[in-house]
Each structure stands twice: as structure tokens, then as C-alpha cells.
Chains A and B, each alone.
Chain A
């Protein structure tokens, strides 16, 4: 009751302040109005930060879902002891599995790997969401997270594509990437067929790993291109 009593004058005050056109309006201003080189680099760094943040979120989400599935979906076969060793549909994609290997990989290839991974997961996650939605056993939390996950992959892929374009624009990377994407699309479709046979738990296991890969590769790429900004 006391809070309500307090709320009204506060809201009135807030309205007054807003309407008085004090410094409360949020307006957008471009970071770089003029086209200097330093400004371009700054924007790339900014783009990278956003993308990395996004991939971070995606990875933590997939980890949460995976641990939840691990509890619920433990296969009830006797004498089952440990975890499964799974084959992911993305295992065909060659990815650097160490720091040196990743640093040795050039920027274009690294970018390409990232994009490949992301593209190959778009369809499977969509199917996963559909299967989860139909499953009444799972909680709402899980189904919401699954939906969020598929959206995230899309966004992240778009973000990385934008970064790649920016880099190509600035001449940081060569323009040899353009031909990759259509081919990847066809590959991913076949892979996604295979993925449809996977069970949810296994799918999440694979996806968690791949999202970690993406996050790592993006960080390495950023510190290679713009090392002075927070590396």
C-alpha cells in the first residue's frame, strides 16, 4: 500500500521530466560520422564485440539445456555407466582443435569455418524445437529455450556475415568467401537429414560443443584483427 502511495507522485514526476524535454530522450547518433580509417576499425571492433557477446549467450543457453536434458533423458538401460561418445553431423567440418592450430589458420578460413558451423545448425535446431514443442514431457522452460536457441543461431549467423562483409570492405580479408555460402547450404541440408535421426540429448551435446568452438574462433579472430581493443 505504501509503495502505491509513493508510486503516483514518482510517475507524475517522471512524466513531467520526460515531457520537459530534458536530457532524458535517448537519441541515436552514429559512432563514426566521418569516414576515417580509425573509425572504421573501431566499428569492426564494436561489431566483433556484439557478435562475441551473442555467441556467449548462445553457448550458455545450450549448456543449460544440455544439463537439463542430461538429467531428464538419461537412458534407462541397465549397466549404463558413463557418457556417450557421439558423432555429430558437423564432425565432417574440419575445425582447428587447438590454439596453435587456430592461430595458424588464416582469417578467411576461420571466418569460413564459423559460418559453416552456424549454417549447418540452423535446420537441425529448428527441427529440434519442433520436436520439443510436441513433447509434453518437457517443461516450458525447455521448450522456450529451444525456440530461443534456433533464433539465436540465425541472428548470430547474420551478425557474423555482417562482420565478414565489413572486413571484406575494409580489405582485412580477401573476397574469396563469397563462393562458399551456397555450397555450404547444400552440405548442411544433407547433414541436417542425418541430424534428424539424432535424439535431442545427443543433438544438444553436439551443439554445445559447436557453439563453444564458434565463440572461441570469434575471439581469436577479433584479437587477430583488432588486438588493441580489449584483448
Chain B
């Protein structure tokens, strides 16, 4: 129907599947067909054409000149070219198009929209049915004018007094330009699941979109952010109409928005904002934190308790220092239980029997009685030794050393069944038989006669084989000699022993009292105990202690006598002839002489370990109380084996 140039506008029936393309020329003619009100220019152009046909080129030029003059004088031009912006369908049933006008050229310009539909006749140009509904510069197609799956060709023509301009055409298939409205009725509800809060967001599709009949299927997207947050957090929700949001911060206000999109189409705008406040909840975190703290503290407590239990003793000793209990220096109860007297004695610091004094204030000179050539009065380096021993033993002394044991008179010397006799050898030295070496020791406080007993007998203390040292002098001369020596030691010799028996012994000892000159008090024979004593001249020496060198420190049983003649410097040996009644040590006068000496009755008693202590005590208190038991004993001149016993 249109024949313009080379292009044919008529559809070719043989070319059913073919497509027609728009070209510039065809569009000009196309738009021309739409303009209903030809402009002044067009009119003039038409006139020019007619005139051209009529009068030729000159006329045309003249007319053009007039035309231009008109335009320049008035300042108006034909309108600018409008631009079609977009066409949108909200529900796939209607659609609307919007355009942007160009310059209006100073004159009032009106715009008109024209469209053709595919499949209809090509000359069926239609104008927009509704310019108002969709707003300014829009065209709205309602349901009757909308057909799906058909390509619309739309263009806008701007027209003013001087001319018209049409826009580029737009090809629209309504099925592909769907942009729905925003979703509606958005609600955000706070819920908890397993003590975890989450936000359940619900919405409705736009009321115009018909999803019920399946005509449109919409997909949704939700976004939210804290009120003071900067960025939105988006979630794709698919085709469902609710969504659960989990990652929430408590105590904040959240903004929620939803939008939708059809299968193939455009996203809607974001819906109106919904505000939700998340209340402060700390329970879940709180609970777990508290559980953790409880578990940790239980573990720490257990560890501490275990540590305390392990280190209980050391802690106790640190906090509460132990009160020292009674303890004998060097006395090992284990050894005592084991029954090894030798070890015990050694542990005590005694080398053999009798034990030496531990007392620190005791410096005793050994009085060694030796009636052979070999015998000599040896100033015992044991003095130093004793001191050293005292010192050393003193070092061993702790406050709780068993001083109490010194007081017990249980120094017991057991008589061996074999009645082996230890001999205090005066002047003789028979070591094998347990010679007793009387040695003098100087003491600051008192004088002691110490017997040094060697031999096995002394070492077997306190077993049955322990033996008495009975210092008995068959003759007073010997004894007195001893006594002389003994008295030379110092002031006196302390005698101690059992209270009752000691006193009796003291009397017996008087027998042994020798004629030693001076105010010695060594041994005295006691007339009273004559029946016990076969010899009247028996003198007794009380053994005070056994020093480290297995030397008996004897104490003469003198009464009242306190001094030992100082001329006793030598060393005399007295042989012990025998032990009688477990308490009396029989000393021989000379080496070979047999004799018996008085014995003293005694009882077997346990030997307290520190005779020396007692001696020390006795010595110490000597000036104060002259009438001690020991003193009385000393006066009698007996060797008080009880004292001997007590030394242990």
C-alpha cells in the first residue's frame, strides 16, 4: 500500500516466516502517517511542492526563504525528538509506556503515541487509548488493548506549530516487560527456637498480581539491616511468602524490606520499611558462659584439693611446726627393736660399755688404773676426746634428748649366765677379758673414775652377756689407790644409783673405802654389807659412765667426801674378777690375783642410756645438794652397778 522508495510495505504472502526490518526512510514515512495535524512547515513544504510543480525552482527558493525568515523572526522551531523511556506491565494484563519529551521549540507541543501490533495489518496504526492514567507523558493500555505474545511497535510523535518529530520505535512484547508492584503487608515477628531468637518475616504479593491462578509466579527477596547499620543484608526467599532470619543482634532496631520479580521480568521496588526491635536477650549466651565458669572452677578446685592432699604433710609442717617429742640422742629405736645392742650403742656414740657422758658441761679426766708396767696413768686424750665427744655428742643433743632416761635408775647390767667376769684390771691389762681400765678424767664439775672396759663383754650390752663391772678391791689398798687416783681428779666423785639400793650400796662401798689419802672418797667398805661381802676390804667403785672409748668412768662411793686427791695422776688398771648378783663388780687388786669383791645387790633393770647425763646432773647439782643418793653411795665405797646400769 505504501510505495516509497524501494521498500515495500505490503506483506508478502509467500514470505510468511520472514521478518521485516525498519529503515530510516520507512520510519519517516511511518511517522508521517501518524501526524494528524501537519505543521506550518509541512504545509509550506506542500505548497512548495505544488509550486515547484507549478513554477519551478525559483519559486521553491523564494518560498524557502520566506519560511526561514519566519522562523528566525519568531524564534520557534519544530519540537525536539522525544524519547520513549520504558514500557512496563505490573501484572501481565495491562501495560503503560512513558516517554521523555524533547525541546518544545518555544511553542506548545503535544505528544501522541502510536502503535502497531504484529500480526495485524501493517497499516493498522493505533493511537494511545489513555494518556492520563499513567501520568504525564505516558500511555496506558488496559486489558482490552493488551495482547500477550505479540510484538507492539510503539513510537511517540511530538508536534508543534512548526513541525513534528517522532521518536525511535520501541518493540514491546508484554510478556517480557513485567515489573510487579511492591509486596504488601509485611510483618516481622520475633520468635524463639531452642532459646534462639529469629525473625519471621511474612508478606503478601502485590494485590494486582494474580498468583492464585498461576498466571504469574513471583520470586521474592528480603533485605534487612540494623537501624544504625550501613549495609543491607539480602536474602533470596524463592517463591515462599515468609522467611526466617537468624543472625540477629539483640537490643537493636531492624529495618526489613521485601521485593519481588516474575519468572522473566524486572524486580519490583523495595517495599515500605518495617521496623522491628529485638529485645535484649542474654540467656543462651549467659547460660553457656555460666556453665563454662562452673566447670572451670570445679576443675580448679579439684586440682587444688589434690595438690593439698599430696603435699599435706609438708604444708602441715610448714604451717604448724611439730612439737618435738622425746628423743634420745643417737638412740635409734629401730636398732633397739632389732636387738642389736652393739649397733645401738654405737649409734649412741658409745664404743662398747659403758656409755660415755653426753653432757656438755662435763670434762672428765680419765683415771686409768694400771698395776703393771704397762699401766700408766694416762691422761686421757680422751679428755679431749671426751670433750670432743661431749661436744660432738652435744651437737647431737637436741632439746628433746632423753634426759628423762637419765633419771631412771634402770641402768641394768645383766649378769651373764656363764658368769663371765670382767675384770677391772688394776695394773693389768687383759683386753681380751674385758679389762677395765680405770682412767681418770678431769671434770669441771666433778670427778669420775671411768672404767674402760674392752672386750666383747662390754660390747654385748645390754644383752645377757652384758656384764657388770664390779670394781672391787680385795684390799683397801688397791681401792684406796684407785680412790686416790679418783679423788685426784677433782672435787669429788659422784655416786649415784638407785635410791634405796644405792644407799645400801653406799654403805657397802664403805668397805672399799681405802686408805687413800686425802679427801678422796673412792671406795669405802661398808661394814653393813659385810655378809654380802666376803671381804671387808672390798671397796666399791661406782661406774658412772662409759665413755666413747669404752672406758668406764667410775665414781667412788664416798659419803660426804667430795674431793679426790689430786695426786692421782697415773693410770691404774683394775681387773674385774667377777660380777656378783648382777649388780656388783668384783675388782681384783692385781693382775693375777683372784679375788672376790663385794657385790652389791642390784636388780636387773633396764639401762637408761645416758649415765653420763645423770652423772652430769649429779655433778651439776653436787654443790647444791650434797646429800644426793649418789653421794651417799659414794661414801660407802661400793661400786654401784645400779649407777652403772643407770648410765645406760
A residues less than 8 Å from B118 (CB atoms): 85-86
Q: Report the minimum CB–CB distance from B155 to chain A (whole Å).
A: 10
Contact A223 B212 (CB under 8 A): yes
- The digit string for A57-91, where 1 denotes a CB below 8 A from any CB of B, is 00110010000000000010101111111111101
Q: Report the minimum CB–CB distance from B81 to chain A (whole Å).
A: 14
A residues less than 8 Å from B214 (CB atoms): 216, 219-220, 222-223, 231
A residues less than 8 Å from B16 (CB atoms): 87, 89, 194
Contact B149 A77 (CB under 8 A): no
Contact A85 B17 (CB under 8 A): no
Contact partner, B93, options A56, A89, A98, A220, Cβ 8 Å: A98
B263 at the interface (CB under 8 A from A): yes
Within 8 A of A (CB), among B131-174: 143, 146-151, 153, 168-171, 173
A residues less than 8 Å from B27 (CB atoms): 81
Stretch at the interface among A29-37, A126-134, A135-143, A195-203: A195-203
Stretch at the interface among B18-26, B269-277, B361-369, B411-419: B18-26
Compute how far the CA of A90 lies from the CA of B332 in the bound complex, rounded to whole angstroms. Answer: 124
B213 at the interface (CB under 8 A from A): yes
Contact A81 B168 (CB under 8 A): yes
- The digit string for A86-102, where 1 denotes a CB below 8 A from any CB of B, is 11110100010111101
Chain B at the A interface: SS class: loop
A-B CB contacts (within 8 Å), total count? 101
Contact B148 A103 (CB under 8 A): no
The winner among A82, A194, A231 for most chain B CB atoms within 10 A is A82
Compute how far the CA of A87 lies from the CA of B120 in the bound complex, rounded to whole angstroms. Answer: 11
Compute how far the CA of A215 lies from the CA of B148 in the bound complex, rounded to whole angstroms. Answer: 14
Compute how far the CA of A99 lies from the CA of B143 in the bound complex, rounded to whole angstroms. Answer: 9
Q: Report the minimum CB–CB distance from B452 to chain A (whole Å).
A: 88
Compute how far the CA of A213 lies from the CA of B147 in the bound complex, rounded to whole angstroms. Answer: 12
Contact A202 B215 (CB under 8 A): no
Compute how far the CA of A223 lies from the CA of B214 in the bound complex, rounded to whole angstroms. Answer: 6
Contact B21 A212 (CB under 8 A): no
Q: Report the minimum CB–CB distance from B530 to chain A (whole Å).
A: 109
User: A202 with B17: in contact, given A82-B169, A97-B150, A223-B212 (CB under 8 Å)?
Assistant: yes
B389 at the interface (CB under 8 A from A): no
Q: How large is the interface on A (under 10, 10 to 19, 20 to 34, 35 or more residues)?
A: 35 or more
Q: Report the minimum CB–CB distance from B16 to chain A (whole Å).
A: 5
A50 at the interface (CB under 8 A from B): no
A residues less than 8 Å from B93 (CB atoms): 98-99
Contact A79 B23 (CB under 8 A): yes
B32 at the interface (CB under 8 A from A): no
- The digit string for B14-41, where 1 denotes a CB below 8 A from any CB of A, is 0011111111110100000000000000
A154 at the interface (CB under 8 A from B): no
User: A83 with B171: in contact, given A77-B21, A195-B17, A219-B217 (CB under 8 Å)?
Assistant: yes
Smallest CB-CB separation from A210: which chain B residue? B149
Smallest CB-CB separation from B18: which chain A residue? A87
Q: Report the minimum CB–CB distance from A160 to chain B (whole Å).
A: 15
Contact A212 B175 (CB under 8 A): yes
B residues less than 8 Å from A209 (CB atoms): 149, 173, 175
Contact B22 A81 (CB under 8 A): yes
Contact partner, A85, options B92, B168, B171, B212, Cβ 8 Å: B171
A residues less than 8 Å from B119 (CB atoms): 87, 91
The winner among B24, B27, B214 for most chain A CB atoms within 10 A is B214
B264 at the interface (CB under 8 A from A): yes
Q: Report the minimum CB–CB distance from B574 to chain A (whole Å).
A: 97
B residues less than 8 Å from A197 (CB atoms): 17
B residues less than 8 Å from A89 (CB atoms): 16-17
A residues less than 8 Å from B215 (CB atoms): 99, 102, 216, 219-220
Q: Report the minimum CB–CB distance from A81 to chain B (whole Å).
A: 5
Compute how far the CA of A223 lies from the CA of B215 in the bound complex, rounded to whole angstroms. Answer: 9
Contact partner, B143, options A98, A102, A103, A212, Cβ 8 Å: A98
Compute how far the CA of A27 lies from the CA of B478 in the bound complex, rounded to whole angstroms. Answer: 126
A residues less than 8 Å from B171 (CB atoms): 82-83, 85
Q: Report the minimum CB–CB distance from A84 to chain B (whole Å).
A: 3
User: A75 with B21: in contact, given A98-B93, A220-B214, A223-B214 (CB under 8 Å)?
Assistant: yes
Smallest CB-CB separation from B264: which chain A residue? A63
Smallest CB-CB separation from B170: which chain A residue? A82
B residues less than 8 Å from A63 (CB atoms): 264
Q: How large is the interface on B (under 10, 10 to 19, 20 to 34, 35 or more residues)?
A: 35 or more
B residues less than 8 Å from A231 (CB atoms): 211-214
Contact A85 B153 (CB under 8 A): yes
User: A212 with B213: in contact, given A89-B17, A99-B92 (CB under 8 Å)?
Assistant: no
Smallest CB-CB separation from B91: which chain A residue? A99
Compute how far the CA of A60 lies from the CA of B264 in the bound complex, rounded to whole angstroms. Answer: 9
Contact B210 A99 (CB under 8 A): yes
Contact partner, A80, options B23, B147, B213, B217, Cβ 8 Å: B23
Contact A84 B21 (CB under 8 A): yes
A residues less than 8 Å from B211 (CB atoms): 231
B residues less than 8 Å from A88 (CB atoms): 17
Compute how far the CA of A85 lies from the CA of B151 in the bound complex, rounded to whole angstroms. Answer: 7
B residues less than 8 Å from A95 (CB atoms): 149
A residues less than 8 Å from B22 (CB atoms): 80-82
- The digit string for A199-231, where 1 denotes a CB below 8 A from any CB of B, is 000100000010011011001101110010001
The winner among B23, B168, B263 for most chain A CB atoms within 10 A is B263
Q: Report the minimum CB–CB distance from A143 to chain B (whole Å).
A: 23
- The digit string for A177-202, where 1 denotes a CB below 8 A from any CB of B, is 00000000000000000110110001
A residues less than 8 Å from B264 (CB atoms): 59-60, 63, 212
A residues less than 8 Å from B263 (CB atoms): 56, 59, 215
Within 8 A of A (CB), among B428-458: none
A residues less than 8 Å from B217 (CB atoms): 219
A residues less than 8 Å from B173 (CB atoms): 209
Smallest CB-CB separation from B211: which chain A residue? A231
A residues less than 8 Å from B153 (CB atoms): 85
A residues less than 8 Å from B149 (CB atoms): 95, 97, 209, 212-213
Smallest CB-CB separation from A220: which chain B residue? B214
Smallest CB-CB separation from B263: which chain A residue? A56
Q: Report the minimum CB–CB distance from A5 to chain B (whole Å).
A: 33
Smallest CB-CB separation from B17: which chain A residue? A198
Contact B213 A99 (CB under 8 A): yes
- The digit string for B211-239, where 1 denotes a CB below 8 A from any CB of A, is 11111010000000000000000000000
Compute how far the CA of A91 lies from the CA of B17 in the bound complex, rounded to whole angstroms. Answer: 10
Smallest CB-CB separation from B16: which chain A residue? A87
- The digit string for B43-74, where 1 denotes a CB below 8 A from any CB of A, is 00000000000000000000000000000000
Compute how far the CA of A98 lies from the CA of B22 in the bound complex, rounded to whole angstroms. Answer: 28
Contact A84 B23 (CB under 8 A): no
Q: Report the minimum CB–CB distance from B471 to chain A (whole Å).
A: 96
Contact B19 A97 (CB under 8 A): no
Compute how far the CA of A150 lies from the CA of B118 in the bound complex, rounded to whole angstroms. Answer: 27
Contact B146 A80 (CB under 8 A): no
Q: Report the minimum CB–CB distance from B220 to chain A (whole Å).
A: 15
Q: A79-B24, A220-B214 are in contact. List 20 more A-B contacts (CB 8 A).
A: A56-B263, A59-B263, A60-B264, A81-B24, A82-B21, A84-B20, A85-B118, A86-B17, A97-B147, A99-B93, A99-B215, A100-B143, A102-B215, A212-B175, A213-B149, A215-B263, A216-B215, A224-B213, A227-B212, A231-B213
Please give the residue numbers on chain B whose beta carbons come within 8 Å of chain A beta carbons, in ascending order. 16-25, 27, 92-93, 118-119, 143, 146-151, 153, 168-171, 173, 175, 210-215, 217, 263-264
Q: Rank and list the top 6 A-B pairs by shortest CB-CB distance, nearest first.
A: A84-B19, A219-B214, A223-B214, A86-B19, A97-B147, A83-B171
A–B Cβ pairs within 8 angstroms, 29 of them: A63-B264, A81-B21, A81-B27, A82-B21, A82-B168, A83-B171, A84-B20, A84-B21, A85-B19, A86-B118, A87-B119, A88-B17, A97-B147, A97-B149, A98-B148, A99-B93, A99-B210, A102-B215, A194-B16, A197-B17, A198-B17, A209-B149, A212-B175, A212-B264, A216-B215, A219-B214, A223-B213, A231-B213, A231-B214
